[in-house]
Structure 1
Amino acid sequence: MATVTIPPTEEARNVFRGLGYAIEERGSEFVAERKWRRVQVTPLCADDAKEPGEMIEYGEGGGPRLRCFVTWMDCTDALKSYLQSAKPPYDWAIIGIEGEDDFEVVHPEPSVAPV
């Protein structure tokens, strides 16, 4: 595995290409598109995954309503907790990268309505 001080940018592109998405480059971030689905993909290093701050903000001009954050597997729990607390105004998921072709998708916990 690559060092966790750099974001898994190339790994993120490989995952989405492998899932049949077309990639629209936007610097370190990119938009992945397949059928009706447009996903803004943001690779995060370990430090950014623990304290993403502005990186989770919704960009100007709307953009895709779906976001996917890609980080190293051992950082997914901290990022998931942060996102659930922040309650961003878009649907999100996290992809945790373990090895070259090994990844896991992490979704938010479903909201529980008060009884």
Structure 2
Amino acid sequence: MATVTIPPAEEARDVFKRLGYAIEERGSEFVAERKWRRVQVTPLRAEDAKSPGEILEYGSEGGPRLRCFVTWMDCTEPLQSSLQSAKPPYDWAIIGIEPDGEFQVVHPDPGSAPI
């Protein structure tokens, strides 16, 4: 199954471009920027989303204070649980990608600001 082994990197770029962000390439990750927002975007394979480990720590020093993890829709719940447990030192959101390209944004709590 492709969604298990391939991170949704191109889908992540498409989502941020549709939302009006400029993309700054940084290998598999990228920084998306619009107005005052700089967001470090990390596409994750299903395995990494379900067991993110140190991926949650990477990039928290000196980088953007906003992070967005992009993964397949069926992997958003375990990733959200990991982030809530880790309590990282940055604001975060998750974008879940559906097989048809549609997406949904998941925040740490319902009152969070949108990406």
State the TM-score, normalizing by the size of structure 2. 0.89
Residue 36 of structure 1 corresponds to 36
4+ long deviations beyond 3 Å = none
Deviation readout 1:12-67 (Å, 9 max, x if unpaired): 00000010000000000000000000000000000000111111114275110000
Residue 98 of structure 2 corresponds to 98
Gaps of at least 5 residues in structure 1 are none
Q: Where does 1:18-57 land on structure 2 (aligned, <5 Å)?
A: 18-57=18-57
- The answer (yes or no) to whether the contact 1:11–1:100 under 8 Å persists in 2 is no
The alpha carbon displacement at 1:2 in A equals 4.3
Residue 108 of structure 1 corresponds to 108
Amino acid at match of 1:38: R
Instruction: Give the number of equivalent residue pairs.
Output: 111
Amino acid at match of 1:67: R
State the TM-score, normalizing by the size of structure 1. 0.89
The separation in 2 between residues aligned to 1:78 and 1:60, in whole angstroms, is 20
**RMSD of aligned residue pairs (Cα, Å):** 1.8
Gaps of at least 5 residues in structure 2 are none
Report percent identity of matched pairs. Answer: 80
Amino acid at match of 2:42: T
